[in-house]
Amino acid sequence: MKTIRNLTVAFAMVAAATAGAAAAPLDPGSTINFSNAFGTGVAIVDSSQTPVALNDPNGVAVDFAAATDSLGSATVNVTSVTGTFASIIAGPTTGTMSGFVFDPFAAVTPLYTILSTPLITFDLTAITQITRSATSFSIDGTGIFKFTPDDYDDTAGTFSFTTQSSDGQPGTFTLSFSANASAVPEPASLALLGAGLLGLGLARARRKA
Of 123, 129, 131, the closest CA to residue 100 belongs to 123
- Tell me, what's the pLDDT at 19? 36
pLDDT band at 9 (very low <50, low <70, confident <90, very high): very low
pLDDT band at 194 (very low <50, low <70, confident <90, very high): low
Which has more confidence, 185 or 42?
A: 42
Residue 207 main-chain phi, psi, to 5 deg:
-60, -40
In Å, what is the CA distance from 117 to each residue of 22, 60, 91, 135?
18, 34, 11, 39
Which helix (H) or strand (E) is 84 found in, with range? Answer: helix 84-88
Q: pTM (2 decimals)?
A: 0.72
pLDDT band at 8 (very low <50, low <70, confident <90, very high): very low
Task: Return all residues near 177 (Cβ < 8 A) that are at least 6 apart.
Answer: 9, 10, 11, 12, 97, 159, 160, 161, 162
> Measured on CA atoms in the order 32, 36, 40, 46, is the torsion positive or negative?
positive
What is d(CA 53, CA 45) in angstroms, rounded to the nearest whole number?
Answer: 9
What is d(CA 160, CA 138) in angstroms, rounded to the nearest whole number?
Answer: 7
> Before 118, cis peptide (omega within 30)?
yes
Which has more confidence, 16 or 187?
A: 187
- DSSP 8-state class, residue 27: P
